[in-house]
Structure 1
Amino acid sequence: MSGKQSTGYEGFTAEERAAMKEHAEEEKKAARRTSRADKAALALQDVLDKIADMPDSDRAIAERVHAIVTENAPDLAPKTWYGMPAYARDGKVVCFFQSADKFKARYATLGFNDSANLDDGPMWPTSFALTEVTPEVEERIAALVRQAQG
């Protein structure tokens, strides 16, 4: 048999490595913050800055998602997570927005981690593709984040 045989694993993509580096920087930045109020205000500003840096199509969706989450799940604290806007309870990320541009994907994603209270029998979705935020999508997101916050 001649030629190279692929093992299937080619390592992390450049986008994945960049996200891991961003996460390490986020953790260092959070550790340097002093008061609880200072941490919350600066974490919110970090989220708003990440949203502002997104391409127009992702930014419009992220702005709506941010508004819906903060209005419907006020107990979730905004923070960045792997360079993405995220919302946490007791420091654990419950949900996050991933722009399509972040990993060169076809669509943006609203994702939920295992700390979200979305359990529905033996199987349930934990991420949702977003191409636009219609009134119906807004209602669905609002319901999901209210359920997720517990």
Structure 2
Amino acid sequence: MSAKNSHTTADGFSAEERAAMKERAAELRAEGKKGAKKADDLQALLDRIAQMAPEDRALAERVHATVTAAAPELSPKTWYGMPAYANADGKVVVFFQDSGKFNYRYSTLGFQDAANLDDGDLWPVSYALQKWSPAVEKKVVALVKAAVS
């Protein structure tokens, strides 16, 4: 897909999508104090994503788009300097750790204890994420929807 249209590219958000997110942040600020906090949290998340290396940034943008579409009830924010998404109680449910944060060989999609992923006495809460694909997106959507169920 061309970055000239309004569709998301495989490498991340189009210019139009970035502009729309900034507009949404401005709308939230206009809603008052609570909206301003949400807008500031969203802007901090977008700023953090923008600071990432290109490969990590592309993954983080896809994670952001997927999480916000699959679980719009989660609020974007930063958490220990990472993009994260919190429930109504403010507890982080899911986060993205870019590979550059701790010089890892892969980025990580992680879930905190507020996520409803319990499965017996042992279940995964962290996933290595190296490349985005339709299969990865499908898995992330399923995990996020389960986490907020």
Normalising by the residue count of structure 1, what TM-score does the alignment of the two structures yield? 0.77
List per-residue Cα deviations over 1:78-113 (Å, max 9, x = no partner).
Answer: 000000000001211001000000000010000000
SS of the residue 2:64 aligns to: helix
Give unmatched runs, 5+ long, in structure 2: 1-31
User: 2:140 is matched with which residue?
Assistant: 141
Identity of aligned residues (%): 59
SS of the residue 1:87 aligns to: strand
User: 1:81 is matched with which residue?
Assistant: 79
2:39 is aligned with 1:41:
yes
RMSD across aligned C-alpha pairs, in angstroms?
Answer: 0.9
Distance across 2 between alignment mates of 1:74 and 1:147: 13
CA shift, 1:121, in A, is 1.3
Normalising by the residue count of structure 2, what TM-score does the alignment of the two structures yield? 0.77
Count residues in correspondence.
Answer: 117
Distance across 1 between alignment mates of 2:128 and 2:108: 5
CA shift, 1:47, in A, is 0.4
Distance across 1 between alignment mates of 2:78 and 2:136: 23
Distance across 1 between alignment mates of 2:77 and 2:44: 7
Distance across 2 between alignment mates of 1:143 and 1:45: 26
CA shift, 1:149, in A, is 1.2
CA shift, 1:133, in A, is 0.8
Give unmatched runs, 5+ long, in structure 1: 1-33
CA shift, 1:35, in A, is 1.2
After the TM superposition, which parts of structure 1 deviate over 6 Å for at least 4 consecutive aligned residues? none
User: 1:63 is matched with which residue?
Assistant: 61
Bigger Rg, structure 1 or 2: 1
Q: Which amino acid aligns with 2:80?
A: Y
CA shift, 1:59, in A, is 0.3
